[in-house]
Amino acid sequence: MTSPAQRQVHYPYIDGLRAIAVIAVILYHLKDSYLPGGFAGVDVFFVISGFVVSSSMANFQGRHFFTFVTTFYARRMRRILPALLFCVLVTGLVSALFIPASWLSDSNEKTGLFALFGLSNFILADTGNAYFSPKTDFNPFTHTWSLGVEEQFYFVFPILFFVWVAFARLRWLSVGLFVAGLVASLVWAWGFAAGRETQMFYMLAPRFWELAAGVLCYQAMAYSGRVNSPRPATALSSAGVLLGLGLIGYALWVSQPAQFPFPGALPAVAGLLCVLVFGHGRQGDLLTGALSHWLPVAIGKVSYSLYLWHWPVFVLMRWTVGLESLPSQLAAVLLSTVLAVFSYRIIEVPLRRRPLLDRLPNLAVISLGLLALAGAWGGYKWTVKSQPQLTLNTVSQHPLDWYPYSRPHSDAAPGCVAQASDSLVAGNRVLSYSRGGCDRPVQWPFTLYVVGDSHAMAYIPMLSKLVMDTGVQVRLYNNGGCPFMSFQAIRESEACRANSLAALQDITGKVQAGDVLFMPSLRLSRFSDQFEHFARSKTMAEMFGEQAVSGRQRLEAEAPQWLAPLAEKGVRLVFEAPKPIFEIPPFRCANWFDHNNPICSYGRSVKRDEMQTYRQPVTEILGRLAGQMPAVSVWDPLPVLCPESDCQVERDGRPLFYDADHVSGHGNMLLAPDFEQFINRL
C-alpha cells in the first residue's frame, strides 16, 4: 500500500531534462544527421532514473526489507508495465500484419517477447545486432533494450538502497555499495570492451555506473540537506547549470557510437550531474526555470510513452511507405505524439493514480502486474502463431512462392519424403538431404555436394526437388555465410578463406568419382541490399576498378590449385554463372502499402545486355577455367530467369527473386528442370 506521505516529490526541471533526452533520441532515430549524437539521450535517461528512483523511495518509513521491496516493485510495475505491455502487444499485432519474415526481421519476434520481461537487451546482444547496424533499424522492439537495462537495475537497487532508508547510521554502507558497483562497472566497460562492443552497449554491467551516478548524486544531496531545501540561485550555481547543459549538448552532437558506453557516455553523464548538483532547488535560475516551463514539462511527462511509441512507428514506416522524405518524417512524429498522448492519458496516468490501487496491498498490486504480464505473453504468442492468418503482406500470404523453403514432397515422386539432417564442419552448418519412404529407382547414383554463401542456401527448394525426383543425396555447406571462390577480393576475408578451406577439405575427404560439386555464390557487387540501395559508382568501382581487376586476376590464378585435388578424384565441378541482380528488394515492394517506399523507386527490371556486360568479367573467368580443366563446367541460370531483353523480378505475377539477388521459391521451381538437364549432360 502506498501512502501519500511516501509519494515521490515532483521536480518540474527534471521533466524538462527528460524532454531534452527524448527529443534528442527521436531526432537521431528520425535521421542521424539531424543530431549525430542524439542516442546519448538514453544516457541522460539512465542518470535521471537513478536520481528519481532514489528520491521516490527515500521517504519510506520502516525497517522491514520485505515491505520496502514490495513497495518498490508495486510502484515500478504501475509506472512501467501498463504502457509497455500495451505498446508491445499493439506493435506485435501491427508487425504481424505488415512485416514479412526475412533476414532483416529474423530477431523481431523474439525481441518483442523478451521485451515484455525486460530482457530484450539479452536478445539483441546475443544475436550480435549492434545498435547501429541496419537490422536494428527494422526491428520495432530495438529501443526496449534501455528499458531492459533499467528494469534489471531495479532488481539490484532495493538491495543496495534499503540500508539508506532503514538505518540512518549505516547510510555510508549504501553509498559504499553503489560506489563499488560504479567502479566495477567502469572497469568492466573500459577494460573488457575489446571484441565485446555489442554486449557492452546493451548490457547492465557496463551501464550500471550511469544509473549509480544518479543514485549517488541524490545521496550526496541528501547528506548535505539540499534535496528539499530551496535556495536562491547564485552566479556559481547558474554557471554550473550552464556548464551541465553545455556538456549535454556537446554529447548529443558529437558522441561517437564506437566509444559507448565508456568513455563515450561521460559528457552526457557529467552534464546531467552538473545540472542536478547546481540546479536542484535553486530558485530564480533562468535555465532551470526554462526547463520548468510548461512545454518542456509537458513533453517530459509523456516522455516514457513517447519513447515507447516513436520507434515502432518509425520502423513500421520504414517497412511500408518509407521514412526518408520530410513529409513522412513529420507524419511519423505526429503519429508517435498522438499515440504517446493516448498512452499517457488512457494507460499510464489512470493506472498510476487510481485510488483503488493505492488501497490494495503491495503484494496484490504485484500479483495483478504479474497476471497482466502473463496475459500479455499469451496474447503476444497468439499473435505470432496467428501471423499467417492475420497478415496483409503478400510475401507472408504466399510463402512457397517467395521463400527458399524445402519441398518435402514432389508430384514426380509420389509417396517419397525428403529427409534432412545437419552437422557442423569447422563450426559451420552442413545440411544433408536424401529421399525416403518409397522404392522408386535412383536416377542419380551419386552425391551432389553444394558449397557457397546464402546463394547456395537459397537453392534449397531446387535441391530438395532434385532429391525427390532423382534420388540424389545432397550435402550442402553454408560456408559460414561466405562465398566460395567469388573472384571478388573485397569479399575474400581471411575468415572466409578459412571457412572455404575447411569445407573443401571435408568435401575432398568424402567425395568419390562421379560425384558433383556445385558452387553457387554471389560473384557480383550488389546494386541493393534488403535495407538500402547502393550508389552505382560504388558498385561499378567494386566490379571494374583497378583493385577489383587485380584481385580477380589473383583469385583466378589460385582457383586451379583449389580445384585440382577434386578433379583428380573424378569429381565433376559445376560453377554457377552469375544470376541477374536488381536495384530493389522485391519482397519489400510487393504490396499496395510499400509500392511508394523510396527503396522501390529504382525499377523492377534491368536490361539483359547491361547485365551481360556487368557480369562479363566473372563469366570470362569461369569460361577460362572450364577451358583449362575438363572437370569444370558452368551452369548459367540467366537464360531461364531472363529469356527476353529485360530481366524482371517477377513473371506472370509470381516472383522470380526474393530480394535484389536471391532467387525466390518460385524461381527455384523454374530453374530445377534446367539444372537437372544440365547435370544429365555432364
Higher pLDDT among residues 62 and 174, named by residue: 174
Which DSSP string corresponds to 574-585? EEEPPPP--SS-
- Has residue 139 got a pLDDT over 80? yes
Predicted confidence (pLDDT) per residue in 339-371, tens digit: 999 999 999 998 887 777 778 888 999 999 999
- Has residue 400 got a pLDDT over 70? yes
* Residue tagged 533526452 (cell numbers): 21
Predicted confidence (pLDDT) per residue in 174-205, tens digit: 999 999 999 999 999 998 877 788 889 999 99
Q: What is the signed CA dihedral for 649, 651, 655, 661, rounded to 10 degrees?
A: -30
Other Cβ atoms less than 10 A from the Cβ of 218: the count is 23
Domain residue ranges of the chain, discontinuous segments joined by +: 4-392, 396-526+556-580+615-642+666-681
pTM of the predicted structure, to 2 decimals: 0.91
d(CA 347, CA 345): 6
Residue 616 has a pLDDT of: 96
284: region left, alpha or beta (phi > 0 left; psi from -120 to 50 alpha): left
- Has residue 4 got a pLDDT over 50? no
- Has residue 462 got a pLDDT over 70? yes
Residue 197 has a pLDDT of: 86
Predicted confidence (pLDDT) per residue in 235-255, tens digit: 998 999 999 999 999 999 999
- CATH entry, 396-526+556-580+615-642+666-681, from 3.40.50, 1.10.10, 1.10.3470, 1.10.15: 3.40.50
CB 659 within 8 A of CB 454: no
d(CA 455, CA 464): 15
Residue 410 has a pLDDT of: 65
Q: Give the DSSP letter of residue 533.
A: B
Cell numbers placing 325 = 522524405
Using pLDDT thresholds of 50, 70 and 90, give the confidence band for residue 129. Answer: low
CB 343 within 8 A of CB 305: yes
- Has residue 438 got a pLDDT over 60? yes
Predicted confidence (pLDDT) per residue in 88-97, tens digit: 999 999 999 9
Q: Which residues contact 519 (CB under 8 A, 6 or more apart)?
A: 450, 451, 452, 456, 484, 485, 573, 574, 575, 576
- Has residue 73 got a pLDDT over 70? yes
d(CA 415, CA 156): 59
Report strand pairing: 417-425 vs 428-436: antiparallel
